[in-house]
Amino acid sequence: MHETLKELKGRLLEIYDLSMAAAVLRWDQATYMPPGGAGARGRQMATLSRIAHERLTEPGMGRLLDRLEPWTAGLPHDSDEACLVRVTRRAYDRAIKVPSAFVSELDEHASLSYQTWTTARPRNDFASVRPLLEKTLEMSRRLADFFPGYESIADPLIDYSDYGMKASSVRAVFAELRARLVPLVRAITERPAPDDRCLRQSAPEADQLAFGLEVLRKFGFHFERGRQDLTHHPFMTKFSLGDVRITTRVRKQDLTDALFSTLHEAGHAMYEQGIRRDHEGTPLADGASAGVHESQSRLWENLVGRSRGFWEFFYPKLQAAFPAQLRPVPLDTFYRAINRVERSLIRTDADEVTYNLHVMMRFDLELDLLEGRLAVRDLPEAWRARFESDLGIPVPDDRDGVLQDVHWFSGPIGGAFQGYTLGNILSAQFFAAAIAAHPGIGAEIARGEFDTLHGWLREHVYQHGARFTAAELVERATGSPMTIEPYIAYLWGKYQPLYGLAGEQPGALAGRRAG
């Protein structure tokens, strides 16, 4: 078996290198590429993806897995070899069902669609992307149909990013969460909103970036194995376990936007940096799911980065960095400002309480489109109606309505959004488990120390990479399946005193340990 395993790893390494090369090209496109490079770049990335897909679906790969599986069946579920063969089998079985020609067609269509969207959105021009979006929907359905036997046509698409979840299971979690969230949003927004003018001030880009990097150093982000660059839409990317990068942007008239974006992406990056180094070059060198990945960005951005304790330590430093802007502003005012909850138009700018309402409506609209209840031509209107009903504010135009997110214009419809809310839920569940194991974490954060928290996450989440499914990982790390209780408890525990809400937390009382 040793030789067979070695051959499998050799093939996987080549596929990994091709994917990582494509990631470098994508990063460069978003950071430094001059405009003249755009045409060839899309083609080059598509070429690399196609070759990687061809290599993954070679019959020899299936034969290797067939030979290895009887052997790994006798090994412990969490042995390196069993994990590797299991995760490779999943990727292989998925890949062989989709013809190479379809992969290329989808890539090319996504690229054209994205290019069109970048100019259509500022022009508030849904009409010009509509035919492309119709083709995207048709292709998304065809993609799902390569995986017959589903319950909902969205299931195979959800499975891509959150393996093990289905439309019905996501819907159940979302319904439960929604029932607890809507009263909380209502209670909060009935109270006067905190004054957040202190945040709407400008500061030199270099100083803002330097402050963010200083926080990352404290977090334990490894700069010898990563870096940060500027881009329009912040993201995290990885070229190897030794090179995990993030990007950010600085907004004029916003003192903390770049900072929170940095903390968010750093959460993703620390996850990747923490994966066991000997998984390099294999499909195990990846996150467990979109939801688990997002849980780490939200944990560091929100549960740590928007906590009172965090700012007890960092606020004096922020004041020292921006004295003209913040010297007159007390910590309490600043803390309330960065946790201001309000119904707003843009998902990516939403506070952590209303954020999930944005996600849920997108998830439902995806299902309506895929399951044939909604036509693309009626989408802008459906968006408006649903938004006004859920968020209670009017949608002034498509630019800040249906055109606001890149997802449907750069990939399939379906499976793109649920991970954000699953991530919020899991962020609180992991954080609560870490605190249950190490009750001193809160006090450490207030001293600017993050080693215990980071160490717990590395041990229970990061190091495992993609060895376990999200469900397995959550159970192993927290001792229970995914549950919304720690998240509700976290939100209530934070916003009840912040907004002086009356009474007890809405719904069940379990899981206050995260409070």
Residues that bind a copy of itself (CB under 8 A): 13-14, 17-18, 20-22, 24-25, 28, 32-41, 43-44, 47-48, 51, 222-227, 229, 239-243, 245, 280-281
Query: How many of the other CB atoms lie within 10 Å of CB of 481?
Result: 9
What is the distance between the alpha carbons of residues 360 and 363, in angstroms, rounded to a whole number? Answer: 5
When the beta carbons of 38 and 182 are compared against a copy of itself, the nearer one is 38
Catalytic, 265? Answer yes
For the bound state, the minimum distance from the C-beta of residue 337 to a copy of itself, rounded and expressed in Å, comes to 34
Sheet holding 243-248, edge to edge: 226-230, 243-248, 236-240
The distance of Cα 107 from the centroid of its chain, to the nearest Å, equals 21
Helix (H, G, I), strand (E, B) or coil at 229: strand
Please say whether the beta carbons of 435 and 304 come within 8 A: no
> What's the min distance (Å) between Cβ of 312 and a copy of itself?
32
In b/e form, how buried is each residue of 31-69, taking b as 16+ CB within 10 angstroms? eeeeeeeeeebbeebbebbbbbbebbbeeebeebbeebe
The neighbour count for residue 455, using CB atoms within 10 Å, is: 15
Q: Give me the least distance between CB of 11 and a copy of itself, in Å please.
A: 12
Bridge partners, 244 (sequence order):
226, 238
| DSSP structure string for 94-112 | HHHTS-HHHHHHHHHHHHH
- 188/209 with CB nearer a copy of itself: 209
Classify residue 441 as exposed, middle or buried by CB count within 10 Å of its CB (0-12, 13-18, 19+): buried
Two structure tokens written together for 228: 């940060």
Q: Least distance to a copy of itself from the beta carbon of 39, Å?
A: 6
To a copy of itself, the closest distance from the beta carbon of 111 in angstroms equals 14
Indicate the residue among 50 and 178 with the shorter CB distance to a copy of itself: 50
Q: Which string of DSSP letters, residue by residue, matches 467-482?
A: SS-HHHHHHHHHSS--
| Residue among 146 and 223 whose Cβ is closer to a copy of itself | 223
Question: Residue 53 or residue 460: which is nearer to a copy of itself going by CB?
Answer: 53
By C-beta, is 267 or 281 nearer to a copy of itself? 281
Calpha distance 80→78 (Å, rounded): 6
CB atoms within 10 A of CB 386: 17
Shortest gap between Cβ of 9 and a copy of itself (angstroms)? 13
Catalytic residue among 265, 272, 352, 366, which?
A: 265
Nearest distance, CB of residue 469 and a copy of itself, angstroms: 26
Side-chain half-sphere exposure of 245, counting CA atoms within 13 A: 20
Nearer to a copy of itself, 29 or 325 (CB): 29
278: left (phi over 0), alpha (psi -120 to 50) or beta: alpha
Beta carbon nearer to a copy of itself, 45 or 106: 45
Helices 331-338 and 308-321, interaxial angle, to 10°?
110
Q: In this structure, are strands 243-248 and 236-240 parallel, antiparallel, or unpaired?
A: antiparallel
Nearest approach, Cβ of residue 46 and a copy of itself (Å): 9
What is the 8-class DSSP label of residue 133?
A: H
For the bound state, the minimum distance from the C-beta of residue 486 to a copy of itself, rounded and expressed in Å, comes to 34
Least Å from the CB of residue 406 to a copy of itself? 22
Tokens of 92: 């292989």
Looking at the Cβ atoms of 48 and 341, the one nearer to a copy of itself is 48
28 or 397: whose CB is closer to a copy of itself? 28
Contacts of 419 (CB under 8 A, 6+ apart): 161, 162, 289, 290, 291, 293, 294
Residue 75 DSSP label: S
Extract long-range pairs of 48-53: CB within 8 Å, 24+ residues apart: 48/18, 48/19, 48/21, 48/22, 49/18, 49/19, 49/22, 49/103, 49/107, 50/100, 50/103, 50/104, 50/107, 51/18, 52/15, 52/18, 52/19, 52/22, 53/95, 53/98, 53/100, 53/103
Q: Hey, which residues are catalytic here? A: 265
